[in-house]
Structure 1
């Protein structure tokens, strides 16, 4: 038998009539001063300090537990059976209940796990509302707009503050939100102090976009004249070059209209958005960067579609050349197919033509994929930084540096030689301090809105499919 009891109750010299936690697990009993707030099963007991006859008589007549402690020999027994004693500090479980229940409940003794499970049964996690991500418009915005991701991330944070019953997580999410807004206020103050740089920054953005246009034109001209010493199909290269030059012409007009309408008011827009949080302002900057470089995405899509179409044709023609074909009526199963002489001639001729045209198309695809990858990775890095701003661990850092008891998690036992004797072994029960990373993972439970799988990204590039 094992008795878990607060050390102050043993130091008291008076007998006590107690209601102890008794979930009926392995003859373990828990006595804490605040057990009235615990909803686990109770059992009456008398903690007798000097083996009084009145206490023994009451226990035998009323069928309640008789816990005897002899102060001189410090022997403790329950119904005259020897027990092991585990000493708890006062309010030890109450101070550490959340972090232990969330993180380390599997390492607890069964009776303490039952106690915390009953005490914190009302603190189920607040369900995260992801209904917006299931709608077509919401899914599109959250996939392609960093501003929408920032707004939705702040909405999830406020939802956790309002609905999460765990005080630790609620305060952590409140710290995330306040840190984001406070940093946004500081940035709005800096923007207000530097409004005179609006014109210079606008002119710099305009000049850089023009330089980007000139640079892409020079790359297309380089592709037209044997790039890297490769001999490409000149008619196909000229056709693709004219197509991309025309698209650059259209994009120049779109860019001019965008810079005229949006760029003069960019500082004012960022100044207003910073009041709602720095992450929202950064999201607006990312979306503006995507609007400026939308032609890079179009170039990549054109080249990827053409490359993917040609790869699929080459694979299909090679299968026909080998006497196989794909059967879409049987889950794309490969069936045998015998071609006559005319069909085999057409297949061979088409395969040869497409194979010789492949290097010309591949050069355009490789160049524009590289340019687009640099652009999209830049935006993704800003997105991850933006998500970090939504999760600045202010409250966790406060708990960590102040040495709060909430940061204790892993339970430990050590023998207390002062109270132990030949018949009774006493243990000190305490919690080790959890790491800051564990504390942050316990507090931060929101899903990531932007994800980048390197494997899927590379496979999409090799197959000529859109990456994002």
Structure 2
């Protein structure tokens, strides 16, 4: 079914490659190049009445606008190759719909490389300024970080050290709003890209782990899909009815009759149980609070590793115990 869906969708992409190539070129040029350039120029001209540091804002604006313009020039020259790119993604449908989704995710990362570079630069500067602010906070409290014991200890600073800390705090207070403004722009853009990656990862996980054979077998012949393993002890030999269950098979024994074997089909919840583990991994990685915490601390946002959502043939620990 993965291959059938992939071939159908890949054929649709190949037949409409010119339309998708034009739409891709228009979207990239309008929103990711011209839109980001206009946003940077707007931030450089007192955005919403906020007075930023003029020299630092101009440095940010000219540097990042130059980077975006260079990437736009490269995309403009690569635009004739977009139909071939769409055709190549469509041909990948012969390997399944998951291949198309993976190629789309990789193409998204490549086409938006300029946003990642701008986000990486702004996040690095913002993270270093947060670290400097934490050090100055410890300085004014009479504390310092002990690198040997990994803790904060009390410390007596000299007057020159306090004066230097005050000067650095003044510089930080005047520069941080400008850095934060540009960081917020590219962090928002990166967050939108991560949301698209999360959609692709969810689709890939659903396609890779959909239990089609087990589901059809459960509907067609439930007795061929036994339930989970559990054991019950036999009753006394002279009881009227004793039963045992192992691997979804019931063994019934009466006082006078023969042994009776009956199969207990697996419930539908057990068939889709692995979806709960995949959903837990995806929700843990793409949890909004976790992502906002990373944004507030200046840490880099990244999509989930594909190894984390790949189906593993190794049994889990509870299966091994059973």
Kept after mapping to 2: 8 A contact 1:314/1:355: no
What secondary structure is seen at the aligned counterpart in 2 of 1:220? Answer: helix
Instruction: State the distance in 2 between where 1:347 and 1:443 align.
Output: 53
Alignment of 1:376-387 (within 5 A): 376-387=194-205
Kept after mapping to 2: 8 A contact 1:326/1:333: yes
1:440 corresponds to which residue?
272
1:463 corresponds to which residue?
297
1:272 corresponds to which residue?
91
Distance 1:338 1:375, change over 3 A: same
Distance 1:298 1:245, change over 3 A: same
Kept after mapping to 1: 8 A contact 2:37/2:65: yes
2:59 corresponds to which residue?
239
Structure 2 spans left out of the alignment, 5+ residues: 233-237, 244-251, 253-261, 303-322
1:174 corresponds to which residue?
none
Q: Report the number of matched residues.
A: 276
Alignment of 1:249-328 (within 5 A): 249-261=69-81, 263-328=82-147
2:9 corresponds to which residue?
187
1:116 corresponds to which residue?
none
2:312 corresponds to which residue?
none
Q: For 1:102-136, what per-residue CA distance to the aligned partner results, in whole angstroms no more than 9, with x for missing partners?
A: xxxxxxxxxxxxxxxxxxxxxxxxxxxxxxxxxxx
Distance 1:338 1:201, change over 3 A: same
Instruction: State the distance in 1 between where 2:286 and 2:27 align.
Output: 31
- Deviation (angstroms), 1:265: 0.9
1:347 aligns with 2:147: no
What secondary structure is seen at the aligned counterpart in 2 of 1:184? Answer: helix
What secondary structure is seen at the aligned counterpart in 1 of 2:210? Answer: coil
- Deviation (angstroms), 1:453: 4.3
Q: For 1:258-300, what per-residue CA distance to the aligned partner results, in whole angstroms no more than 9, with x for missing partners?
A: 4344x13123312321111111122111111111111111121
What secondary structure is seen at the aligned counterpart in 1 of 2:152? Answer: strand
Distance 1:189 1:349, change over 3 A: closer
Instruction: State the distance in 2 between where 1:432 and 1:182 align.
Output: 33
Instruction: State the distance in 1 between where 2:266 and 2:83 align.
Output: 51
1:225 aligns with 2:45: yes
Distance 1:465 1:188, change over 3 A: closer
Say which of 198, 211, 216 aligns to 2:36: 216
Say which of 162, 174, 191 aligns to 1:356: 174
Kept after mapping to 2: 8 A contact 1:408/1:434: yes
Distance 1:219 1:206, change over 3 A: same
1:102 corresponds to which residue?
none
- Deviation (angstroms), 1:359: 1.4
Structure 1 spans left out of the alignment, 5+ residues: 1-178, 414-422
What secondary structure is seen at the aligned counterpart in 2 of 1:409? Answer: coil
Instruction: State the distance in 2 between where 1:217 and 1:289 align.
Output: 19
- Deviation (angstroms), 1:208: 1.3
- Deviation (angstroms), 1:401: 2.1
Instruction: State the distance in 2 between where 1:443 and 1:351 align.
Output: 50
Kept after mapping to 2: 8 A contact 1:412/1:432: no
Instruction: State the distance in 2 between where 1:400 and 1:432 align.
Output: 11
More helix by share: 2
Report the structure number with the largest CA radius of gyration.
1
What secondary structure is seen at the aligned counterpart in 2 of 1:326? Answer: strand
More strand by share: 1
Say which of 405, 410, 428 aligns to 2:223: 405
- Deviation (angstroms), 1:250: 1.9
TM-score (norm 1): 0.54
TM-score (norm 2): 0.76
